[in-house]
Amino acid sequence: MKNLGEYAYIQGGVMQKRILFIVVVICACAFNLSALVGVKGGLARYKTTSESINFSLEGKNKYFIGAFLNLPFGSNLTLRPEVLLVEKGGQKDILGKKFELDLKYLEIPVLLRYHFIDKLGSDFGISFGPYYALRRSADFREEEGDKTVLLNMKNITESYDYGLCGGVFIGILNLDLELRFTYGLKNIYKLNKSIKNKGVSLALSFSII
């Protein structure tokens, strides 16, 4: 019977293959469509919650960066796959102690964007779609005064995550600003089946070509 470490390794390998497949498909589409390529970055605030045990780690602000493609489908629709480096988790202060969970992911959202206005250099619309994420690291930190305890959480957190995301965006020329909400559907903690990631982000995107 495989232990948790072996299981996490196998699951991580499967997820890496899935992500590689998605990236290959995206690149193939880009060669066949008049795609826009760009980079993005911004500020996100994530928290980790559990509805079944009334538990949550409060949100913390984190920066993220990534790249994207805009693939046009008709006059008002585009498909927008992205590759992002994001940090999730949360923090909580209890009786003078600070507890903090840091989860780093390679995340691939694939969003369908509907453009209400897309002319004269201006753009406005909504976006919605799924995301898949491969966990890169998982650390838990406990601080009390000058004392800090750091624990590696890889063996008890899931090696991947998935969920839904959506938001609104506005654009001018080759810049766009997007407010996005993310709701995790995957239980990320192996010892409790109800802990999930949630968050909101504000991102600035720049189309290069």
**CATH hierarchy code of domain 4-207:** 2.40.160.20
The stretch 65-72 carries a mean pLDDT of: 92
Q: How confident is the model at residue 2 (pLDDT cuts 50, 70, 90)?
A: very low
For the stretch 168-179, pLDDT in tens is: 999 988 899 999
Spatial separation of the C-alpha atoms in residues 81 and 22, rounded to whole Å: 9
For the stretch 5-20, pLDDT in tens is: 444 444 445 555 665 5
What pTM value is reported for the model? 0.80
The residue extents of the domains of the chain are 4-207
Q: Give pLDDT, residue 176.
A: 93
- Provide, rounded to the nearest whole percent, the portion of the chain with pLDDT above 90: 44
For the stretch 185-207, pLDDT in tens is: 999 888 766 788 999 999 999 98
For the stretch 135-170, pLDDT in tens is: 999 998 888 878 888 889 888 899 999 999 999 999
Contacts 24+ apart (CB under 8 A), 120-124: 121/172, 121/173, 122/170, 122/171, 122/172, 123/169, 123/170, 123/171, 123/172, 123/176, 124/168, 124/169, 124/170, 124/171
